[in-house]
Amino acid sequence: MKHLNETGLLLALMRAALHQDWQAQLPWPAGCSTQKLEDLILRQSLVSMIYPVLKNQKGAAWAPLQQSMKRPYEKMIQLGVMQEYEIQALLDSFEQEGVDCMPIKGWITRTFYPDPLMRSMADLDVVIRQMDSGRMRTWMEARDYVYDDTEKGFHDGYWKLPFMYVELHQCATDRRSLPADEAAWVEQKEQGLWDPENLLPGKKHIYRMGMEDFYVHSLLHFRKHFTGSGVGIRFLADIYVFRQQRLPLDAARIRSQLEAVHMTAFARQMERIANACFDGTGTPALDRDAALVVDYLVSAGVHGNREVQRALQVQQRGQGTYLHNMPREVLRQCFPSAEVLHKRYPRLEKAPWLLPAYWAVRAVRIVAQERYKIGQARRSSSKKAYDQLREVYLAAGVLEK
């Protein structure tokens, strides 16, 4: 594995935390870099999970990391507590005002952890049954939320600084990222979200997915990011803690849903790799496929990065060298889609006729001042990068061997 010592120690810290083995004593590997390990912890948003184990480690080698992680941990816990309070108040308002809604993703996932605050959360995702953007904007602004003009398309975003970001969705799954047959199946499936059996006990307007549907939806979201811009290793921990709940799940229902979205192999591999990483004690020993996937997950931050995204785009086009893609890549960098420009330049919402001018300005700037972006694309689009990513896809079950 890349950064073998640091990645192995990170997994050992996560493993101890997930098993609530707060007093576990872990050896500091020879050659392990404090700075690299700190960077991994922060980029993967894992400080709130592992610090309770980290702070109890003995030995001088641990002291610098314990000191540097103390303040980020305190800030993350403070953030988590404020989020819990604000989210509950918002959901109470939905219930009182008769707004049918369904919280999804991280807000539900964190309830499966030994302590919900172990699992940090960037935002609250809520599906609204009758999503009227104008009406909901008025409703949210009356509660001191500010509309996010930079977010377009699949959801409406709202800020309440300094700690809250809420995404209101009209459906649970962004079907634009799915092949046509999978999108059609998901659309049909989501018609059952609002069955009365999904209402939370004692509630008239707050719904929750059935656990089988929630698990498949989580895996869909994982695969979307895995094959989009990359994603962090926290998703593996999410799978692990969910499977550890020993819920009375309908295995046949899960299996049929996975087959419908062509995700059986991916789910099987992610479950196996999650168990390899987090079962038992100490530092995990991973086979080749597991090591490839873990390397890929720790190479990007918790939400991925642009270099991974560029390499993934080449993988999806099925071409292995930058020379095949160079003209298209230059055009894409200089002339991105209108949707991308609208996200980046909110002024276009009120002045769409300026679109050609923004394209021209962007092209001149990239060619004259930001040629490094083309260089980055060339490196991430090399034959070597393509072949490495293909190996990861095979190891993860995204592609069939």
pLDDT at residue 19 tops 50: yes
- Segment 108-133 shows an average pLDDT of 94
Share of residues in the chain with pLDDT > 90 (%):
61
Identify the three-state secondary structure at position 86. helix
| Residue among 271, 288, 191 at smallest CA distance from 235 | 271
Identify the three-state secondary structure at position 226. helix
pLDDT of residue 219: 96
- DSSP H helices, 20-164, are 34-43, 47-54, 63-97, 106-109, 133-141
Q: Compute the mean pLDDT over every residue in the chain, rounded to the nearest whole number.
A: 86
| Residue among 138, 140, 141, 103 at smallest CA distance from 124 | 103
pLDDT band at 378 (very low <50, low <70, confident <90, very high): low
What is d(CA 173, CA 89) in angstroms, rounded to the nearest whole number? Answer: 25
Q: Indicate the pTM of the whole model.
A: 0.84
Strands (E), 107-206: 124-128, 146-147, 155-160, 164-169
**CA distance from start to end of the chain:** 22
pLDDT at residue 376 tops 70: no
- Segment 234-258 shows an average pLDDT of 95
Angle at 289 between CA 376 and CA 253, to 5 degrees: 105
| Residue 284 φ then ψ, to 5° | -70, 150
| Residue among 350, 352, 309, 353 at smallest CA distance from 332 | 309
The two tokens of residue 43 are 């980029």
pLDDT at residue 323 tops 70: no
pLDDT band at 322 (very low <50, low <70, confident <90, very high): very low
Tens of pLDDT, residue by residue over 184-197, are 888 888 888 999 99
Identify the three-state secondary structure at position 159. strand
Quick one: CA torsion of 47, 49, 53, 54, rounded to 10 degrees? -10
- Those residues whose C-beta lies under 8 Å from the C-beta of residue 264, and which sit 6 or more positions away, are 255, 258, 397
pLDDT at residue 115 tops 70: yes
What is d(CA 379, CA 343) in angstroms, rounded to the nearest whole number? Answer: 26
| Residue among 138, 130, 124, 65 at smallest CA distance from 101 | 130
pLDDT band at 382 (very low <50, low <70, confident <90, very high): low
Cis peptide before 162 (omega within 30 of 0): yes
What is d(CA 232, CA 242) in angstroms, rounded to the nearest whole number? Answer: 17
- Segment 15-22 shows an average pLDDT of 96
